Every structure is written in C-alpha cells, then in structure tokens.
Amino acid sequence: MGQTLILTDDLERGGRLARNLGGGISVMLHDLYGDAAPPSGAALIISDVSALTSESVRRLRQVLSTVRAPGVPFLALIHGNLGRGEIQATALGATRVMAASTASALLLNAVATLTDGGPDTRSARRWRHQIHEAHAAFVSLFRADQAPPPAVVESGADLVNQAIREAKVRNWLDVVANFDDVTHRHCLSVAGIAAEFARILGLSEADSRYLVKGALLHDIGKAKIPLAILNKPAPLTPLERKEMDRHPALGHAMLLTGDYDALTLSVVRSHHEYLDGSGYPDGLRGSQIPDLVRLITICDIFAALIEARPYKAPKSAPEAYAILRQMTAKLDVDLVRAFGEVAAACEPPRPASA
C-alpha cells in the first residue's frame, strides 16, 4: 500500500487520525492553512477539515488539483451536518464520504476498501468510481427546495447503467451499502437493481435509462419528510408512518414544477400502488398501474427487504424473492418470475470450499 495524505486544518487532530489508521499505513500530514507545499505521490487522500467553509473548500480544491493523480481515491471526513458536507465533498470529487465521528474500525475498513489491490484493481477502481459518481449525482438531486434538473437525472442514470455493465449488481450493492445516508443507500440500491433488471429483460439503452431514471427519482419526496422520521433508528409510530406515506404525493408535486414526462411522474407518485388496490396514495388497481411503475415497485420492495436497518436484519436474496413470489395479488406475476434472475445475481457468492 502507498502513502496516505491527510489534509487537515488541525495538525493535532490529524495526528490522532493518523494514529487511528495504525502503524501499517504510511501517513503524510498537510496543514491546509499552512505555507508548505503539499506532498505529492499519495495513493489515498483523506480530508479532515472541521468546517467546509467557502475558504476551506477553495483550499481543498486547490490542493487536490495539485496532488491528486487520476484514479487516486479521496475520502472526505465530515464534521457537523453530514447532508450538507456530503454535497460539498462530492462536489470536490470525493470517492467516499463518512462522518468524522465514525468508529476507528469502520474507518480502517473504508481505507482498506479504497486501497484494495489485486489483479483486477484498475477495473474495480473504475466501476467503484462510477458508483461514487452516481452517488454524487444523486446527492445533488435529493434536495427539498427544487425539482432536480432532468439533464442531471439522465446523467445519473447513464452512470448507473455503465457501472452495472462493468460490475456485477452484487458489487454495486456492496459499495452502496457503505454510504451513510439510509435514503441515499436505498435509492441507489433500487437504481442498480433496476439497471440489472433492464439488462436481463433485454431492454434497449433508452428504455433502460428510462427505468433507472424512475428508480433514482422514486423516493424524491422523502427530501420533504422530517429527518427525525426519515432517519429514525426504530420502527415508525402510526402517526410517523402516516407522515412518511406522504412522500409519493410530495415527490410528484415537486416534479410537476420541472420538465418531466407523465410516465416518470407516475413512477414517483405510484410506486407504492398494488394491483389489488391496497396501495397508496390513490388506491390504483390492475391496468391503472403502468408497466414501468410495476417494475420499479418490485425493485423497491426487494431492495428494502435485503437492506440492513437499525431496527431489522437484512433478508437474504432468496428470502426476499420468496416474499415477492407470495405477493401474487399485489405484484405482476410475470415480472416477478422474470425478476428471479435478478434476485440470484444479488446473492453474495458462496465461499470457496477448502
């Protein structure tokens, strides 16, 4: 493993971080506000800046443009508001963003992942970079103050499809699982699963982009749900669930102010509708639910089942698929049958026998 460069505004805190990384990692410290030139040649760059002000962002951008070689991963540690810091860090080109308060064990795991070696390192770094670019694009979309620009959504969908073509969907899920925000993780998981579903169904590139676009946007209304409910580390109360269930209508209303087609709007509004009329917010049934919505609903349910949450353990891919197959009154049976190949691709590989 090459050297790790830590960019910090507090050399004492940066030194503690270096010690947390352990003696097996060679670390260089650079004072972001000092006069010395930053060292070059790092195999990994970590920023540990107490506040991402306009000045610190300017300095980070300047240093990164000087010392970050192509393909070198950049890990940004965020102090304070993770959501805002995540947007700023991804704008700087961060490969991964983590809360600065993260336990040392998680930090070591992140560093090990970013600096992973082996014969397929170059290819793995490329698709990991694509996943993180897709994440950065998604973070820029997930805002409560305005509808995301359709061109940015198109670009994000292209990144997802490209990454799924180069990496297995299981690899996509493994990387996405390390993102900190629960809603971001879920939407990106649904997008990757949708891209794999499109590939298995043999959809055209245009149709695949359309499907993944819907997956990226399906929970956009959650940007307007209070964070205390959105990130609650326990099951929701009935009142909280009622508030959460407003997100499809909220998302639909958001996108009405943008240049979005009727089918994409229907994905956002109707991805919790069921064929038997038991879904929400409109109680649609049968032919009232377009095929694109039916596809996203299957991907959405499956992703939620296989995800770990603070209040529940993840289902295995076979367990999650078995649940889908039991929902015959609610889901399109033919599409669920076709989804079996996607579910199998999401299952972790079995360890090699000794």
| Rounded (5°) CA angle 177-139-199 | 60
- Sole residue written with tokens 């043999």: 202
Amino acid in position 48: D
| Rounded (5°) CA angle 170-92-219 | 50
User: Burial code of 70-94, b = ≥16 C-beta within 10 A, e = fewer?
Assistant: eebbbbbbbbeebbebbbbbbebbb
Q: What pLDDT, on the 0 to 100 scale, is given for residue 102?
A: 58
Q: Which of 100, 95, 32, 26 is nearest to 61 (CA)?
A: 32
Rounded to whole angstroms, the Cα distance separating 164 from 94 reads 20
User: Burial code of 129-155, b = ≥16 C-beta within 10 A, e = fewer?
Assistant: bbbbbbbbbbbbbbeeeebbebeebbe
Please report, in tens digits, the pLDDT of each residue of the chain (354 residues total).
468 899 999 999 988 888 877 655 688 999 999 989 998 888 889 999 988 888 999 999 999 999 998 878 898 898 877 667 778 888 888 888 887 875 444 566 666 666 655 445 556 666 776 777 777 777 777 777 778 888 888 888 888 888 888 888 998 898 888 776 788 889 999 999 999 999 999 998 888 988 999 999 999 999 999 988 988 888 899 999 999 999 999 999 999 988 898 989 999 999 999 999 999 999 999 999 999 999 999 999 999 999 988 778 899 999 999 999 999 999 999 999 999 999 999 998 765 443
Residues 6+ apart with CB under 8 A from 328: none
- DSSP, collapsed to helix, strand or coil, labels residue 53 as coil
Q: Which of 260, 232, 54 is nearest to 146 (CA)?
A: 260
CATH architecture of 121-354: Orthogonal Bundle (1.10)
Residues in the chain, overall count: 354
Q: What residues are paired with 44 via a beta bridge?
A: 4
Structure tokens at 331: 């889901």
Q: Answer yes or no: are the C-beta atoms of 89 and 76 closer than 8 Å.
A: yes
CA diameter of the chain: 68
Question: CATH classification of 1-115 is 3.30.530.20, yes or no?
Answer: no
Structure tokens at 41: 């040649």
Q: What pLDDT, on the 0 to 100 scale, is given for residue 296?
A: 97
pTM, two decimals, is 0.67
**Domain ranges for the chain:** 1-115, 121-354
Q: Which of 170, 141, 346, 182 is nearest to 264 (CA)?
A: 141
Rg over alpha carbons for the chain, rounded to the nearest Å, is 21
Structure tokens at 82: 């993770």
Rounded to whole angstroms, the Cα distance separating 306 from 348 reads 11
Sheet holding 44-49, edge to edge: 27-31, 4-8, 44-49, 74-78, 96-99
Q: What pLDDT, on the 0 to 100 scale, is given for residue 110?
A: 65
Rounded to whole angstroms, the Cα distance separating 203 from 93 reads 31
